[in-house]
Amino acid sequence: MGDLDILLIDLPPGTGDEPLSIAQLLPDMDGVIIVTIPSEVSQIVVKKAVTFARRLGMPIIGIIENMSGFVCPNCGAKVDIFQSGGGKKIAEELGIQSLGSIPIDQKISEAFDKGTPFIVKYPDSPASKAFMEIVKKVEEFLKSRDAKT
């Protein structure tokens, strides 16, 4: 097994034992990404997660808004089923970078169920383009941190 370039850990929402254990086990992490949905209720959890990360001295890479609308596969129209913009709004309010918004796409779960990377199978979809923009922003964040050290 070679060196680890990036380790992403998907944790449940909130500030319970799991995030605290991770923070204690990986004290030199490069940063955290907080994922939200557009709803106002979700923004309450985001505020708690940001406060938690800041108190523990964990750098916050940014906020991602998941389930940000639905792009019709037939006509391309975007419908904000669960609203949209809540992730960007809370990021601005808290002074954190908004990494992007990912629309709902049924093909994401279908690709994962088949073991196929979604962005490889559907590179031109709005969701794939959103993922790739987020990846670029995370890479930029990590490069800027590396340049400072």
Q: Say what the pTM is.
A: 0.87
CATH number corresponding to 17-148: 3.40.50.300
Instruction: Check: CB of residue 18 under 8 Å from CB of residue 11.
Output: yes
pLDDT of 149: 65
Q: Is the pLDDT of residue 131 over 80?
A: yes
Cβ atoms within 10 Å of 106's Cβ, excluding its own: 10
Residues 8-48 have pLDDT tens digits of 887 777 667 888 888 888 878 888 999 999 888 888 888 98
Single-letter amino acid, residue 71? V
Q: How confident is the model at residue 141 (pLDDT cuts 50, 70, 90)?
A: very high
**End-to-end Cα, the chain, rounded Å:** 26
